[in-house]
Amino acid sequence: GESVGLHLPTLSVQEGDNSIINCAYSNSASDYFIWYKQESGKGPQFIIDIRSNMDKRQGQRVTVLLNKTVKHLSLQIAATQPGDSAVYFCAENAGGTSYGKLTFGQGTILTVHP
Amino acid sequence: DTAVSQTPKYLVTQMGNDKSIKCEQNLGHDTMYWYKQDSKKFLKIMFSYNNKELIINETVPNRFSPKSPDKAHLNLHINSLELGDSAVYFCASSRGLGIETQYFGPGTRLLVL
């Protein structure tokens, strides 16, 4: 959902560890999901996407898992590097009459310590 | 080669003023968007255009008026600026409507004093 708190969820990891960032989405009609990375002072950058007819998709060092039963999305980053430090957003697209309308989650701050 | 560009990057202005933000994409995309990111980092869509036609118009005050002179440009004009308009505004584009990846610009940081 569109919950906004005073503080974003945070995840701190050591360089080389694997990171898992979670996201709960609200619309069971959503059929497309995207993960974006936003570095300080920059715009969101596309990382990976997944359609609702899949439950897993892999990219370079990243994997997205989709569990439609519990409306949960996760982003796994392997061998996390300091350059991965950023705010990560999940977004959902309900399609249909909501063409192009991405609904963003609140974001998670990932900090990678060398 | 900047795919989605916005000007200006920073905009500081007084309450009550009128200002415009410009966006251009060189990706050959048909669809463009404006998003607002507040101080809590929450990103929310404002408008989308497809081939210069307004598609999405979220609940945005009518002081905000988007204009698309051609499909590579989507500008945002804001009248009578208010303190609450202070935010980062992002332009994005996608190949078309539907399930398409949206590519974001670098943002325009607006501060209303």
pLDDT tens-digit profile, chain A (114 residues): 333 344 789 999 999 999 999 999 988 888 899 999 999 999 999 999 999 999 999 999 999 999 999 999 999 999 999 999 999 999 998 766 556 788 899 899 999 999
The answer to whether the beta carbons of residues B90 and B104 sit under 8 Å apart is: yes
The secondary element (H helix, E strand) that includes residue B24 is: strand B19-25
Tokens 């409507």, located at residue: B97
Pairwise CA distance, residues A20 & B52, whole Å:
40
The rounded distance, in Å, linking the Cα atoms of B42 and B86 is 13
**Which of B45, B97, B106 is closest, CB to CB, to A102?**
B45
Residue B10 DSSP SS3: strand
Query: Per-residue pLDDT tens for B36-75?
Result: 999 999 999 999 999 888 888 887 899 999 999 999 999 9
What is residue A93's predicted lDDT score, i.e. its pLDDT? 87
Please check whether residue B109 is in contact with residue B91, taking contact to mean a CB–CB distance below 8 angstroms: no
Q: Residues of B72-105 as b/e, b for ≥16 C-beta within 10 angstroms?
A: bbbbbebeebeeebbbbbbbbbbeebbbbebbbb
Q: Do A89 and B43 touch (CB under 8 A)?
A: yes
Within 11-30 of A, beta carbons closer than 8 Å to B belong to: none
Antiparallel, parallel or unpaired: β B87-94 and B43-50: unpaired
Are A21 and A43 in contact by the 8 Å Cβ rule? The answer is: no
Phi, psi of B7 (to 5 degrees): -140, 140
pLDDT the model gives residue A2? 38
Mutate to test the interface with B, among A23, A101, A110 (most CBs of B within 10 A): A101
